[in-house]
């Protein structure tokens, strides 16, 4: 069975009502998370969260709009590379780094892992090719964060054959076994961004779905509450987003897997009565 470790790698703030209808105008903290999946085939990193270079890459030109709209908080202690080193894991130990989608808050640390195989959706990669600076900001993509050799290292999830998933994971029926061990299955979660990916991870306590940005708060899939309509000025496809949200809701009700969203509140992971760190 795979071992899943969650890392908080900086956070941003935003009015709550933008990400969850009817939740008010108060500012809400949205942690950015990365996940380490220890499989029999090696160490797989799911996204990277923020990194020091994000601040530099969004400090000038039109890219300043990114950090103005979603103020980012990142300190040296938040570094994913540093957090991994504290666990005795070097950058060179990462066999594969999966990019759920090409928004900067999910891949700002790519340059910290120069030897890892990179995996993403072909549709997602194609969507960020040849963009103007304005179009890049609109898609939350910051080209300066990409490794210079990304073209040589990047593989596509679509190159892995689709296989049947266990019935308990319905309404999800197929996935792509990217390690060949039956521990980590890539699934498509369309709507938020072109080529937006999630993954089912099989651990000792059962299945976990890393649902990336298919929602921004646990209430979204628990209660079928979507974000502000204004967010669909930058999100990819509204109809697909809600189709995916309904699938998460059904999965949640069926109890076949726990669901992790990249930006949901820390309290969602804590037992009742425990305070957030």
CA separation for the pair 51, 75 (Å, rounded): 9
The encoded tokens of residue 169 equal 């994971």
Q: 59 φ, ψ to 5°?
A: -100, -5
Q: Which residues, other chains included, contact 167 with Cβ-Cβ below 8 Å and sequence gap of 6+?
A: none
Please give the pLDDT value at position 67: 86
Q: The pTM is what? A: 0.94
The domain ranges of the chain are 3-269
Judged by DSSP in three states, 109 sits in coil
Which runs of consecutive H residues, i.e. helices, occur in 87-165? 104-107, 122-127, 133-138, 150-153
Interior/surface letters 53-76, b for 16+ CB within 10 angstroms, e for the rest: bbeebbeeeebeebbeebebebee
Please give the pLDDT value at position 266: 61
CA separation for the pair 9, 73 (Å, rounded): 9
Residue ranges of E strands in 47-103: 72-73, 94-98
The encoded tokens of residue 140 equal 């939350």
- Tell me the mean pLDDT per 10 residues along the chain, length 277: 97 92 91 97 98 94 91 94 98 98 98 98 97 95 97 97 98 98 98 98 98 96 96 96 98 97 70 35
Q: Is the alpha carbon torsion for 124, 33, 248, 233 positive or negative?
A: negative
CA separation for the pair 43, 248 (Å, rounded): 26
Contact of 228 with 21, CB cutoff 8 Å: yes
Please give the pLDDT value at position 268: 42
Please give the pLDDT value at position 70: 87
Residue ranges of E strands in 52-107: 72-73, 94-98
Domain 3-269 in CATH 3.40.50.300: no
């Amino acid at each position: 069975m795979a071992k899943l470790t969650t890392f908080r790698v900086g956070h941003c703030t935003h009015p709550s009502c933008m990400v969850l209808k009817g939740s008010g105008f108060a500012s809400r903290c949205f942690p950015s998370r990365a996940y380490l999946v220890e499989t029999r085939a090696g160490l797989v990193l799911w996204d990277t969260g923020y990194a020091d270079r994000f601040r530099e890459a969004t400090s000038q030109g039109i890219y300043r709009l990114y950090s103005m709209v979603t103020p980012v908080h990142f300190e040296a202690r938040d570094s994913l590379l540093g957090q991994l080193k504290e666990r005795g894991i070097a950058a060179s130990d990462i066999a594969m780094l999966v990019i759920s989608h090409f928004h900067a808050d999910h891949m700002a640390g790519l340059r910290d892992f120069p030897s890892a195989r990179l995996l993403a959706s072909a549709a997602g990669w194609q969507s960020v090719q040849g963009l103007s600076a304005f179009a890049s900001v609109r898609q939350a993509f910051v080209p300066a964060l990409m490794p210079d050799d990304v073209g040589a290292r990047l593989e596509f999830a679509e190159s892995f054959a689709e296989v049947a998933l266990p019935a308990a994971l319905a309404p999800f029926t197929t996935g792509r076994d990217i390690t060949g061990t039956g521990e980590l299955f890539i699934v498509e979660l369309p709507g938020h961004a072109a080529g937006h990916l999630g993954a089912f991870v099989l651990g000792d306590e059962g299945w976990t779905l890393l649902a990336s940005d298919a929602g921004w708060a646990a209430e979204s899939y628990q209660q079928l509450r979507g974000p502000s309509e204004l967010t669909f000025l930058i999100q990819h496809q509204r109809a697909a987003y809600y189709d995916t949200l309904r699938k998460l809701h059904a999965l949640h009700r069926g109890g076949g897997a726990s669901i992790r969203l990249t930006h949901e509140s820390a309290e969602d992971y804590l037992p009742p009565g425990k305070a957030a760190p």
